[in-house]
Amino acid sequence: MKSDQLIVALAQIAPIWLNRDATISKIIDYIHQAKEQNVELIAFGEALLPGYPFWIGLTDGARFNASDQKVIHAHYLDQAVQIEAGDLDLICLAAKQNHMAIYLGIVERAENRGGHSLYCSMVYIDNTGNINSVHRKLMPTYEERLTWSAGDGHGLQVHKLAAFTVGGLNCWENWMPLPRAALYGLGEDLHVAIWPGSDRNTHDITRFMAKEGRSYVMSVSGLMRPSDFPKETPSIESVLAGCEDDFLANGGSCLCGPDGEWIIEPQCDHEGLYISVIDHENVRQERQNFGPAGHYSRPDVTKLVVDRRRQTTVEFIDK
C-alpha cells in the first residue's frame, strides 16, 4: 500500500445500553474484527459508551424534580466513563495490541468538574494506546441539555496519522462553522464526525464538510432499536411505551472524499463495519483550487480566536 494511503473503518453498532462493561467488550470485538482487515483507524458513534440518553424524549424527561428521572440519571452516572479511574484501559490496550487509532464517543463523568456531571466527549486514542485528546461537546443539543453539560475548547485538537491530519467533532457541532474552522486552521484533512445515528443528519452535512474543507469526512453513527434496551433498565416500561418506530437511531454512517463525492453512501438499519482505503494525494489535488485556512483565507480581514483551556470552577493555590 502507498505511504499516502490509510485504511479506515466506520463501526456502526448499538451499545449494550447503559451497560459500560458489556459495551466495552463489544467495542473491543469490533476492533479485533477491524484488525483482520488491516484497519489503521476505526471510529465509533457519539455517546456509544455507555449509550445515548434516549429516555429523555421518551419519558417526558423535562419534568422538574421527577423521581423516575432522578433514578435513571443516577444509573447513567454509574455507567458513565471515568477516564481517571481507568474505564478506558481495556480499549487503550486493544488499540496498542492491534496498532490501531480509535475515535470513540463516550459519556464522560468528569473528575475535574466535581465527579457528578456528565459530558458528551469524543476521545482519540492513538495506535500506541495513549489517549491524546478528550473533546467535550461544546453545546449539547436540545433535550441533551437535561443530562449533559456544556464542554470547552480543550479538545479542539488534531493528530498526525500516517500522511493525514485527523480531527473530529460531536454530532451537531459539525454544523458550527467556527469549531470546523478551528480544525481547518490546525491542518485537518481527515474529519471524523460522530453521531447517535440518523441519515437525516449525515446525508447532507457529510458531503458539505468534505467540499468545504477539501478533506475526507467520515460520519460514524450508532444504532438503536427498542430491542436494544436491556430489561433491567430503570423505567424500562415507560421507555418502551414511548417507542413508536422500529429505530430510535437508524445509523447513516458514510464516507466522502475531498471532492464531496461518496466513497461509502449512508448505511442504514443494520450494524456493520464499513471499510475503505483513502489516499492523501486526493486531498492535495483538491486543495489546488481551495484551501480554507491557507491560500483561500484572509487572516488580515477575518481571524478566529480559540480558548483551549480546560474549564474548571476552582483553582487552588497552595503556596
For the chain, what percentages of helix, strand and coil (3-state, to nearest 5) are there?
30, 25, 40
Q: Which of 92, 120, 144, 171 is catalytic?
A: 171
Q: Which domain holds residue 221?
A: 5-286
Establish whether 96 is a catalytic residue.
no
277 within some domain: yes
What nine digits make up the cell of 70? Answer: 432522578
Q: Across the chain, what does the average pLDDT equal?
A: 95
- Whole-number Å distance between alpha carbons of 290 and 246: 42
Q: Stretch 183-196: mean pLDDT, rounded?
A: 97
Closest alpha carbon to 249 in 275, 264, 227, 217 = 227
Question: What is the value of pTM for the model shown?
Answer: 0.95
- Give the tens place of pLDDT for each residue, 72-131: 999 999 999 999 999 999 999 999 999 999 999 999 999 988 899 999 999 999 999 999
The reported pLDDT for the residue numbered 241 is 84
171 within some domain: yes
The reported pLDDT for the residue numbered 161 is 97
Q: For 177-186, 220-229, 249-258, which range has the lowest pLDDT when averaged over its residues? A: 220-229
The CATH number linked to 219 is 3.60.110.10
- Give the tens place of pLDDT for each residue, 233-262: 888 888 888 887 788 999 999 999 999 999
Neighbouring residues of 295: CB distance < 8 A, sequence distance ≥ 6: none
- Through-space distance between the first and last CA atoms of the chain, rounded to whole angstroms: 56
Establish whether 211 is a catalytic residue.
no
The reported pLDDT for the residue numbered 1 is 66
207 within some domain: yes
303 within some domain: no
The reported pLDDT for the residue numbered 29 is 98
- Our count of domains for the chain comes to 1
Task: Report the percent of the chain where pLDDT is more than 90.
Answer: 86
- Whole-number Å distance between alpha carbons of 250 and 210: 22
Task: Report the percent of the chain where pLDDT is more than 70.
Answer: 100
pLDDT(22) > 70: yes
The reported pLDDT for the residue numbered 65 is 93
- Give the tens place of pLDDT for each residue, 24-73: 999 999 999 999 999 999 999 999 999 999 999 888 889 999 999 999 99
Q: Stretch 208-221: mean pLDDT, rounded?
A: 97
Q: Which of 137, 211, 212, 286 is catalytic?
A: 137
The reported pLDDT for the residue numbered 84 is 95
Neighbouring residues of 192: CB distance < 8 A, sequence distance ≥ 6: 43, 103, 166, 167, 168, 217, 218, 220
313 within some domain: no
- Whole-number Å distance between alpha carbons of 302 and 203: 30
Establish whether 137 is a catalytic residue.
yes
Displacement of CA 155 from its chain's centroid (Å): 12
44 within some domain: yes
Q: Which of 26, 40, 46, 268 is catalytic?
A: 46
314 within some domain: no
Predicted confidence band of residue 227 (pLDDT cuts 50, 70, 90): confident
H or E stretch at 101: strand 101-109
pLDDT(147) > 80: yes
Closest alpha carbon to 138 in 114, 122, 158 = 122
197 within some domain: yes
Could you identify the residue written with the cell 444509573? Answer: 75
Displacement of CA 304 from its chain's centroid (Å): 24
